[in-house]
């Protein structure tokens, strides 16, 4: 079992759901990234997505795009992000996942990227621009290395294709709650819970919902049908506050915000 498999097995035995925050690696620098990751772990998050900045994001909204732009201004290399991740995974029990473009993995070399990420303690990768029709080579490497390959299903994915994506994925399945790009929204589609309930009947993989989730009521609603909740833009938005507020205050503000979502997701254990 991978580290992600173990987390979900443990949560299932406790009848709890996973809370998975997303943060951009290197915005504004890797020291701040480390501070936020430690705070998220301290607050009780179960997994954490590290977004590897990319100049041509596929589905990221303006908040994460701006964060990627700030990070890219630091001239970061993938190897630096993985080195920082390794220093964190040595001290944390919360597994880290990379959100990474397939273009970056391809440029690094599929097997090389997986092995380097695994050596850094990374438990898996979400690859939003990897088509399931082209995923076999990377999926085979990931299975051999016990490294989770997490793929995305959207509300417009045909059901037959959704099953194919689930069969190609490991760790968990990322269900995109809305069509379009990432970002905070006031409301979520009414048909979402029905679609996720159908998908859960097609796969044994945990299903985690992301995109557009920002409020405790979102988390409470979706937690009833999902195995985990992913929140990104609402957290990353606070990174821009660093221009006007001390780092420690921003880190604490992120922690308090995450506390409110964790309380809504697992109220009996909060």
- Catalytic residue, chosen from 5, 39, 60, 195, is 60
Strand order in the sheet with 96-99: 148-150, 122-126, 96-99, 48-51, 18-24, 228-231, 207-210, 173-176, 152-153
Residue 111: active-site member: no
Q: Do 207 and 175 touch, CB atoms closer than 8 A?
A: yes
Q: How far is it, in rounded angstroms, from Cα 102 to Cα 105?
A: 5
* Of residues 236, 238, 235, 242, the one with CA closest to residue 261: 235
Give the contacts of 231 (CB within 8 A, at least 6 positions apart). 19, 20, 21, 22, 210, 213, 214, 219, 258, 261
* Of residues 235, 206, 246, the one with CA closest to residue 43: 235
Q: How far is it, in rounded angstroms, from Cα 251 to Cα 43?
A: 11
**How many CA atoms are closer than 13 Å to the CA of 253, on its beta-carbon side?**
15
* Chain centre to alpha carbon of residue 241: 22
- Catalytic residue, chosen from 27, 49, 195, 227, is 49
Residue keyed to tokens 């850094």? 120
Residue 194: active-site member: no
**How many CA atoms are closer than 13 Å to the CA of 211, on its beta-carbon side?**
20
Q: How far is it, in rounded angstroms, from Cα 239 to Cα 249?
A: 11
Catalytic site positions:
49, 60
């Amino acid at each position: 079992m991978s580290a992600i498999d173990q987390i979900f097995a443990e949560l299932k035995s406790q009848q709890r759901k996973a809370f998975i925050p997303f943060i951009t690696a290197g915005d504004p620098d890797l020291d701040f990234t480390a501070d936020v990751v430690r705070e998220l772990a301290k607050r009780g998050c179960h997994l954490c997505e590290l977004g590897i900045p990319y100049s041509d994001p596929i589905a990221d909204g303006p908040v994460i795009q701006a964060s990627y732009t700030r990070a890219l201004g630091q001239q970061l290399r993938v190897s630096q992000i993985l080195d920082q991740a390794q220093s964190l995974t040595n001290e944390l029990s919360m597994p880290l996942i990379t959100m990474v473009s397939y273009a970056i993995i391809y440029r690094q070399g599929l097997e090389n990227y997986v092995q380097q990420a695994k050596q850094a303690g990374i438990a898996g990768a979400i690859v939003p621009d990897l088509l399931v029709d082209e995923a076999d080579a990377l999926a085979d490497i990931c299975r051999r290395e016990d490294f989770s390959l997490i793929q995305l299903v959207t509300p417009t994915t045909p059901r037959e294709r959704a099953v194919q994506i689930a069969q190609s994925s490991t760790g968990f399945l990322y269900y995109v709650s809305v069509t379009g790009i990432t970002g905070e929204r006031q409301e979520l589609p009414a048909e979402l819970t029905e679609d996720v309930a159908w998908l859960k009947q097609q796969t044994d993989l945990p299903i985690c919902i992301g995109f557009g989730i920002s409020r405790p009521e979102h988390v409470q609603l979706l937690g009833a049908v999902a195995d985990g909740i992913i929140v990104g833009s609402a957290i990353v938005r606070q990174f821009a506050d660093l221009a006007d507020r001390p780092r420690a205050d921003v880190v604490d503000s992120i922690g308090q915000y995450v506390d409110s979502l964790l309380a809504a997701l697992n109220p009996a254990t909060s």
